[in-house]
Structure 1
Amino acid sequence: MAADDLKSSVKEYLEGLPEVILTRLYESPATCLAVFRLLPALAKMLVMSMLYRDESVHISEIEKFVKTKSRKLQVEALQKLKALHLITEVRRDRSIRLSSTFRNSFRSALTTGPANQSFGVPCETDDKHKVDIAFLDKHASDKWEGILHFMVGTESTGDFGNTAPPPGEGVLSLLHHSGLMENAMGSDMMVGRNESVEGMRISSGGFQFLLQSVNAQIWTLLLQYLNMASNLQMDPVDVLNFIFMLGSLELGKDYSLSALSDTQIKMLEDLRDFGLVYQRKSSSRRFYPTRLATTLTSSDASALRSASSSMDAAINEAGTPPVTTTSSSKSLITNNPGDSGFIILETNFRLYAYTDSPLQIAVLNLFVHLKTRFANMITGQITRDSVRRALINGITADQILTYLSVYAHPQMKKNDPVIPPTVMDQIKLWQLEMDRIRASDGFLYTDFSSFQEYDLVATYAAELGVLEWQDPKRWRFFVSREGNAQVVDFVNRRKAK
C-alpha cells in the first residue's frame, strides 16, 4: 500500500464518522495535528490561512491562492475539509469558517498550550529499568516479525534463541476478523483456542498484506481494531485519540499512564502485542513508545520497511549478491532506507532468492517448490503443483506476479517486462485451469428403472432451475442442495400415483 493509499484509508474512516464524534476528537490537540498531517497540501494551506482568523473567509479570497487551471484541486480540497467537518459553509455570502473546536485545539498544538497533555505526560522520576532506543527497536521488530512469522506458518526466534510463542489472543482475533487469516477447515472457531490457532492459514488478503510497508500493515490492523472497538466496549474517541497521540510522542522517552483513560490503559495490552509500546510488566505505570508508534502519522516512513526488503537490504544497488547478511539487515526497523530486490527468475521457471530469512523463505514457499538452501541464497522451481497449492489457499496469480515484480533483483528490473512472458502466461494459465472447475453442494440421482423415469425427473429438475449436471447415457443427474427437497417431493408423488 502506497503512502497516499494509506492516508486515503485513514481519511475514509474519519470521513465516515458522524460530526458529533469528530467534534469530540478535535478536542485533542494531538489528534488535530495528526489529522492536519493527513490532509492534501492545498487543504493544509487553506487551514493555515484560516487558523488565526475568527471570522469567516470569502470564497473569492481563497480563489486568489489558486491558479485558474488548479480549480479542480481547490474543489477537492474543500470537499475533504467539509467531509472531515473541519469547515462550515455560509451559503448566503459564499464564505467558509474553520471549526472553532479544531481551531482552538490546533492552535494549542502549535503553541504548546496547557491543553497539550494530549501529547503524553513524561515521567518525572527516573526509570530504574530504563531502556534505550536500540532495545525498543529490537522489541518492536521481534513483536511485529512474530506476527508475520505466524501468518506464513514459520516459528520466530525470541530472546536467547528460543522459539517465540504465538501472538496473543487479541492479535489472533484481529487477524481472523480482518480476513488476513482464515480457518483451514472453513469453520468459525474461536481463535483463542489451540486447535483453531493450528488451523489458521494465510488468506489472499493476507498475502497482499505482506506486500505492504510496515507502516501500512500497522494501520491496516489498527483500522480493523477501530471497527471492533464498539464490540470491545471501548470508546472509539479514546481509541483514536490514543493512536494519534502515540504518533506524536518522542522515541526513547517514558510516559506516565496518569493522563490515560481506562479505555487507553486497556489498549496498552493489545498495543504491546503489536510492538507499538513497551512495558516492563503489565502493572507498570509507565510505557515507552517504539518506532512503530512514533512514525504512525509521520510522512517519513523511511525507518520502517516491509519484511521482504528489510531482510535483504544487503543486496546493493549494483546488483551484486551479498557476501553476508548482518543482523541489522534482518530488522524491520532501521535507519538505512536502502531497498533492493532479491529475486532472480529465469525463463525455465528456476528461481534464485538472495536471503537467509526464515520469514522470507516461508513467503516464497507459499508458491515455489524450494530445492536448495545455501548460507545466503535459496533456489527453487515454480511448478504447476506449487502454484496450484497457492491458488487453493486463496492466493491469486496476479498477487504472485506482483510479488515477483516488486521484489525482483535490480538486474531483472532492467528487462521489459520484468517477469519473463513465458512464466507470466503459464502462471495465469494454471489459474484458468482451477477456474474451470466449480464446486457445488447437492445430490446425485442414479439407479433409475428406465430411461423414461430418468428423463421425467431430470426434466422436472431442469424446469425448476435446480439441475446442475446430467449424464443421459448413464441415467444420472445432479441437483443443487436448495432444490433437492422439491425433486424428492415430485418423485414421491409419482410413486404414490
Structure 2
Amino acid sequence: MPSVQLNSHSENAEKKHIEHALLPFLQSQSQNTLTRLYQRPSSCLSLFRLLEPVERQIIMSLLWLESAIPQSTMNTWVNREGRKLYDEAIATLGRLNILPTNLTNKLALNTTFKMSFRQALTGGGTSGSFGVPAENDDKSPAQDLESLDSFALERWETILHYMVSSGTEQQPTKPSQGVLYLLQRSGLMSTFQGVLRITSAGFQFLLHSPHDQLWDLLLQYLHLAEERQMDLVEVLGFIFMLSTMELGKEYSTENLSGTQKAMLEDLRDYGLIWQRKPTSRRFSPTRLATTLTSASPPLPTSSGNSSGPQEGFIILETNYRVYAYTDNPLQTAVLNLFVSLKYRFPNLVVGSITRESVRKALANGITADQIISYLMSHAHPQMRKNNPLLPVTVQDQIRLWELERNRLKSQEGYLYTAFASQADYEFVLHYAKELDVVLWENASRRCFFGTLGGHANIKGFIERRAMGSNQ
C-alpha cells in the first residue's frame, strides 16, 4: 500500500495550486446528488483529474481496499510537515462525499464512487458513460482536427469579441440569445442606455486563461440549469462525459437523455461540440470539450490567430506609446478598450494610453489595476527584461486618472437647515450622529446632510421635539 509521506517542499508546492472553480459548486450539492453523479465512471474519472495530487493519492490508496481502515493507520503515513495538507485533503474529500463522513475514526471511499472509478480505470460495463461512438459513415466522414479547432476558435472568439466590441463603433458578430443571456446573468455584460456593454467583471474575465474562462461560463450554466429545472446530474454528467471523449471521433446521440439532447444546442453555441446540422444524430467534441478536466490548452496555439496562451505581444514605452505585435482582431478590440489606437499594420497595432482612453475604460467599469494587470500579463518578452516590468510613471499616471475620476461621490439624502437656534441644531445633529446617518455638517451655517435611510427617524425626532415645545 503506498505511503502518503509529505515533506515541506511538497507542501509549499501545493500552496501554489489554486482549487478548481468547479469544486466549491460540487461541495455545495447534497450527498444524494453527488452519489447519483458518481454512478457514472466518466464523472468519477473527470473529478479525479480536478483534485489536488494529495487528494488523488489518498483515493488511490483506498481504492482497492474492500473494507474501511482506521484513521490512525493513515495518520502514521503522514509526516509532521505534511499534516496540514493531509487534513485539508481529507476535509475536501469529505465535502465531496468521496469519503463518507458517517464513519467513526475510519476511512473508506464512497461505495458508489469506488465501484465506478474502478470501472473507469479497468474498463468493462455497458453504461455508455464515456459516450457511444457513432458507426462509420463513408458518405459523411468525421471532421478533421483542423476543422474542429477552427470551429471551436470561431465560436469562442465570437463570444469574447462581442464582449469587448459591443457598444462601440464596431459591429461584432452577435452570439446566440442563450449566450447573451448567460453573459448578462453572470455579470460579464450589462445594459447601459439600452446597449449591452462589458463590465468590470467582464474585463477581469478577459484576463483569465481560456480554460478558466470556459469554466466560469459553465458554472453559470450549471446555476442556470437548476433554475430551468434541468436535472443537474444529467447536465454535469454530460459535461464530464465530453471531457473524457476522444478528439476527432463522432459519437451517437441515441443514448443521451432528454436533458443532454437539449444541451447540444447550447454547447454548439459555446463551441464545445460540432454537428453537421441541429437534427443530426451524431456529434463531435471539440478541443474545448476534451480538455475540460486536463491541463492541455483548450484552443490551438500554433497560429498567431488564437486567443489561447501565447507569448506576450505588447510593448509599452515611457511616453505612453503602445506597440502591439498582433493581427488578432480580438486582442486589438481589447486594447481599444483603454488605448487610443493610431495605426494598424500587418501584425502590428500602434496607439497611446491617454487620459481620454483611460477615462473611457473607467466609465465602462474597468479599473486602473485591471488595465495594468492586462499590460503586464501580455508584455512582450523584450519587456520582461525590464525591472520593473512596466514604466512606473505610466502605472502611476493611470492610477492618478482613476483617482481623478473618483474624487467626487454622489449620494442621495436630505439637507437639514434653517434651525431656530444653535441649541436646536446641536440637539438634532447629536441625535443624527447617534444614528450614524450624518454625511456632512457645517456648524457655522447650522446645517447638515443626512442619508436617505435616516430621514424618517430624523423627521420624526424633529416633529416630536416641536410638539413638545408647543405643549
TM-score of the two chains, using structure 1 as the length reference = 0.81
Partner residue of 1:273 out of 269, 274, 277: 269
One-letter code aligned to 1:49: S
Distance in 2, Cα, partners of 1:455 & 1:151: 58
Partner residue of 1:70 out of 76, 82, 87: 82
1:144 Cα deviation (Å)? Answer: 0.4
Query: Is the CA contact 1:30–1:116 (under 8 Å) kept in the aligned structure 2?
Result: no
Structure 1 partner of 2:118: 107
Distance in 1, Cα, partners of 2:124 & 2:16: 31
Q: Secondary structure at the match of 1:167?
A: coil
One-letter code aligned to 1:220: D
Distance in 2, Cα, partners of 1:343 & 1:44: 39
Structure 1, unmatched stretches of 5+, are 156-162, 186-194, 314-327
After TM superposition, list the pairs within 5 Å mapping 1:165-314 onto structure 2: 165-185=173-193, 199-301=195-297, 303-304=298-299
Distance in 1, Cα, partners of 2:242 & 2:439: 56
Query: Is the CA contact 1:82–1:88 (under 8 Å) kept in the aligned structure 2?
Result: yes
Structure 2 partner of 1:345: 316
CA shift digits 1:226-259 (9 cap, x unpaired): 1121211201111110110000011111111111
Structure 2, unmatched stretches of 5+, are 1-13
Structure 2 partner of 1:11: 23
Structure 1 partner of 2:371: 400
Partner residue of 1:122 out of 129, 133, 138: 133
C-alpha change, 1:274 and 1:117, in structure 2 (3 Å) is: same
Structure 1 partner of 2:11: none
One-letter code aligned to 1:79: A
Distance in 1, Cα, partners of 2:410 & 2:222: 36
Query: Is the CA contact 2:190–2:196 (under 8 Å) kept in the aligned structure 1?
Result: yes
Distance in 2, Cα, partners of 1:345 & 1:85: 50
Percent of aligned pairs with the same amino acid? 48
1:167 Cα deviation (Å)? Answer: 1.0
Query: Is the CA contact 2:383–2:389 (under 8 Å) kept in the aligned structure 1?
Result: yes
1:127 Cα deviation (Å)? Answer: 6.3
1:351 Cα deviation (Å)? Answer: 1.4
Structure 2 partner of 1:322: none
Structure 2 partner of 1:23: 35
Distance in 1, Cα, partners of 2:126 & 2:93: 24
Structure 1 partner of 2:3: none
Instruction: Verify: 1:409 aligned to 2:417, yes or no.
Output: no
After TM superposition, list the pairs within 5 Å mapping 1:29-44 onto structure 2: 29-44=41-56
Instruction: Verify: 1:56 aligned to 2:68, yes or no.
Output: yes
Distance in 1, Cα, partners of 2:211 & 2:411: 40
- Paired residues, what number? 449
Distance in 2, Cα, partners of 1:262 & 1:170: 18
C-alpha change, 1:471 and 1:64, in structure 2 (3 Å) is: closer
One-letter code aligned to 2:289: A
One-letter code aligned to 1:428: R
Q: Secondary structure at the match of 2:83?
A: helix
Distance in 2, Cα, partners of 1:356 & 1:457: 66
Partner residue of 1:85 out of 70, 84, 97: 97
Query: Is the CA contact 1:356–1:376 (under 8 Å) kept in the aligned structure 2?
Result: yes
Distance in 2, Cα, partners of 1:343 & 1:420: 13
C-alpha change, 1:164 and 1:468, in structure 2 (3 Å) is: closer
Q: Secondary structure at the match of 1:78?
A: helix
Structure 1 partner of 2:152: 140
Q: Secondary structure at the match of 1:88?
A: coil
1:154 Cα deviation (Å)? Answer: 5.8
